[in-house]
Amino acid sequence: MIKGYWADPQIAFFNGRFYIYPTTDGIANWGATVFHAFSSTDLASWKDEGIILDLATISWGTTKAWAPAITVKNGTYYFYFCATQQIGVATSTSPTGPFKDVLGKPLVTNGQYGGQSIDPYVFDDDDGRSYLFFGNGNANGVELNSDMTSFKTIPITIALNDFREGSVVFKRNGRYYFMYSVSGTDSPDYRVAYATSSSPLGPYTAGATILQSNSSLGILSTGHNSVLALPSGEYYIVYHRWAIPGGDGNHREVCIDKMTFNADGTIVPVVPTL
């Protein structure tokens, strides 16, 4: 979708434009220090909007600028991001920043609720409530207060088969879908599975693996996705894979494919395309 090494794409739609917020990739040990945003009107050509948040402005984390998430409430954009395996929140009045750390400290410190404190995902329900999901090795979920920078309760652990990281929650026809990545981003079998529930914080019932490598096409390590739902009812999955050619666990590229549903609401396995 976008040229170069980028990973962990968060897709969003604000004021008539599509946006992708990725991890900057192609750096040893996943050592990114800045976040970029990309924008598009057609999902085909993308403009690099430049650096929207630089960890040089963060007092509590200097590296591992990973896997951001974004939403907007009352004209303020909330950007949840990782720095040194902790999660912070930064705000701006524009989807392209500049974003400024709100708390001056992590929202979630390293290992605070089990596992690595990475991969935030913000979900806005249609009743006005918002939730933050996060974690590696342990799937955490919690309702956010209306300030979007604090939690209503202590985060809970959500039981999911083989959960590694990359939480994503969306709602369709009254059902909550929890998508997540299995295995590791440095493994060729990194893949996406999902589970469903009648409540955002679960309990979730296992679904299936719906996106995986196709080694005959040289497509490997398809994971860490986000989801785009268009008003037309069409869905797209945006994810990363090892770059073609020559990619590996920290030389990844961002891809998009159609995602469809069966009549019973189960997700049809996605066919990753070149």
Binding site for ligand FUB (CB under 6 A): 7-8, 23, 30, 66-67, 118-119, 165-166, 185, 224
**72 SS3 class:** strand
Residue type, 83: A
Supply the minimum distance, in Å, between the C-beta of residue 42 and ligand FUB: 26
In the complex with ligand FUB, the residue whose CB is nearer, 71 or 226, is 226
Catalytic residue among 8, 25, 49, 119: 8
Task: State the CB neighbour count (10 A cutoff) for residue 100.
Answer: 13
Q: Is 248 among the residues known to form the active site? A: no
Q: Is 125 among the residues known to form the active site? A: no
In the complex with ligand FUB, the residue whose CB is nearer, 7 or 55, is 7
Continuous segment of H or E residues that includes residue 170: strand 165-172
Indicate the length of the chain as a whole number: 274
Catalytic residue among 25, 49, 101, 165: 165
Quote the CA–CA distance of 102 and 269 in Å, as a whole number: 39
**181 SS3 class:** strand
Q: What are phi and psi of 35, to 5 degrees?
A: -115, 135
Q: What's CA 201's distance to the chain center, in Å?
A: 17
In the complex with ligand FUB, the residue whose CB is nearer, 26 or 266, is 26
In the complex with ligand FUB, the residue whose CB is nearer, 30 or 176, is 30
Quote the CA–CA distance of 260 and 208 in Å, as a whole number: 14
**56 SS3 class:** helix
Task: State the CB neighbour count (10 A cutoff) for residue 70.
Answer: 24
Q: Which residues pair with 103 in a beta bridge?
A: none
Supply the minimum distance, in Å, between the C-beta of residue 234 and ligand FUB: 26
Which residue in 249, 252, 256 sits closest to 274, CA to CA? 256
In the complex with ligand FUB, the residue whose CB is nearer, 45 or 82, is 82
Residues classed as catalytic? 8, 165
